[in-house]
A = this chain, B = another copy of it.
Amino acid sequence: MKNIIVGQSGGPTSVINSSIAGVYKKAKELGYDHVYGMVNGIEGFLNDNIIDLDDYLSNDENYELLKRTPSAFLGSCRYKLPKFEDDPDTYKKIFELLEKHEIESLLYTGGNDSMDTVKMLSDYAKENGKSQKFFGVPKTIDNDLPITDHCPGYGSCAKYIATSLKEIIRDNESFNKSRLTVCIVEIMGRHAGWLTAAAALAKDDNCSGVDAIYLPEDTFDLDEFLNRVKTLAETKSSIVIAVSEGIQTADGKFVCELGADDRAVDAFGHKQLSGCASTLCNIVAKETGLKTRAIEFSTLQRAASHLASLTDINEAEAVGARAVEEVNKGNTGMMVTIQRVSEDPYKSETDVYDIHDIANVEKKIPDEWIDKENKQMTEEFIKYARPLIIGELLPIFKDGVPTHLVRK
């Protein structure tokens, strides 16, 4: 028997399922007997909770539907694999299960934490003479993995952000100056501003774009912000500003902590990082008397597969397929990367890289792509990001809403 297993981990995206599709198709081409999926990642696998993807993907219609299904079809987890020395039993269990199901290779789609899991398992296998191969399949809307030009999941999220901001700007412009509203839109990305930067893609020949973009890569100065709003309000009849959820002041305070409102904490007493737009709206309203509106894209931005980028879907499928090819050749302990091989027309290819140089490294936006004075992105950023949002794979609508593929 020649079997392979794939798991999904971390925050879902619009195209993480396209990587599963790519894994399945390539594995079948290469003669694998069973292509298994972990239900809820390694956490589910440890409970022997797996499915056979033949039960879902052997017909073409379901395959097409999977590529149009947002979130993690297999279910995801946020399970942090313990170090071997702290918990050898977990490693023993994982390899027992791999042997039980005659699984040669394990593929894991995810971001930084998930790549750490791939690293630890492949290191363990090498050190202990195990034959199983482990490979990382990149996935993160945050686009913060190093080495790879960009990450599957980012393009679709960026397309949602650009499209929705264009629609928000259009809406906000509908009244005249007497009803000026300062609209502050909060976008995901705590440490890296790639998603917030995508707000710049709303600007084109029929849209004036957002008035300012505040990134976590740049220190947030409340006085500068308020002055900018006041200056814009003198001439404009609509103001729309994009802010990252992770913007911080010079003393390292998150902007959402500037307000005094008692926000929700989770069961462990952790503050939930949200509400930076509404905090800023409260401050603007108090300081300027202007009408304000806070909008948070929340999970909409990572789940809107009805607006996914075809470029992103194709690349997500390709990185899944490439991972199968690699483990089939006997490679392990690596992640698939995307290389931009041509600018115009845009063209990308997959490649692979040692997982040790990727796990736990965070890629931020290069300084020269940020116009800090005008709070905008430079042309270099636009040139980088624009190709990633091109193309559509339209939903299959049934009774007025997109149809998805779900586990039984």
> What copy number does this chain have within its complex?
2
Bound complex: CA A167 to CA B389 (Å)? 19
Instruction: Determine if A204 and B306 form an interchain contact, defined as CB atoms under 8 angstroms apart.
Output: no
How near does chain B come to A337, taking the closest CB pair, in angstroms? 23
| Interface band, chain A | 35 or more
User: Which of A72, A174, A263, A304 has the most CB atoms of chain B within a 10 A radius of its CB?
Assistant: A174
Chain B contacts for A166, CB-based, 8 A: 401-402, 404
Whether B77 and A175, one on each chain, are in contact in the complex, defined by CB atoms closer than 8 angstroms, is yes
B71, B179, B207, B285: the one contacting A404 at CB < 8 Å is B207
A306 touches B309 (CB 8 A): no
Say if the beta carbon of A43 comes within 8 Å of chain B.
Answer: yes
Q: How far is the CB of A166 from chain B (nearest CB, A)?
A: 6
Contacts of A176 in B (CB 8 A): 40, 43-44, 75, 77
Q: At the interface with chain B, which of A117-125, A212-220, A288-296, A359-367?
A: A288-296
Q: Do A390 and B386 contact each other (CB < 8 Å), given the known contacts A76-B175, A264-B292, A298-B293?
A: no
Across the interface, do B159 and A300 meet the contact criterion of CB distance under 8 Å?
no
Inter-chain contacts of A267 with B (CB < 8 A): 289-291
Are A164 and B304 also in contact (CB < 8 A) when A204-B398, A295-B296, A299-B295 are?
yes
B291 touches A71 (CB 8 A): no
Produce 1/0 per residue, A167-211, CB < 8 A to B.
Answer: 110111111100100010000000000000000011010110000
Interface residues, chain A, CB within 8 Å of chain B? 12, 40, 43-44, 69-72, 75-78, 159, 162-164, 166-168, 170-176, 179, 183, 201-202, 204, 206-207, 260-267, 272, 274-275, 278, 281-282, 284-286, 289-296, 298-300, 302-307, 309, 386, 389-392, 394, 397-406
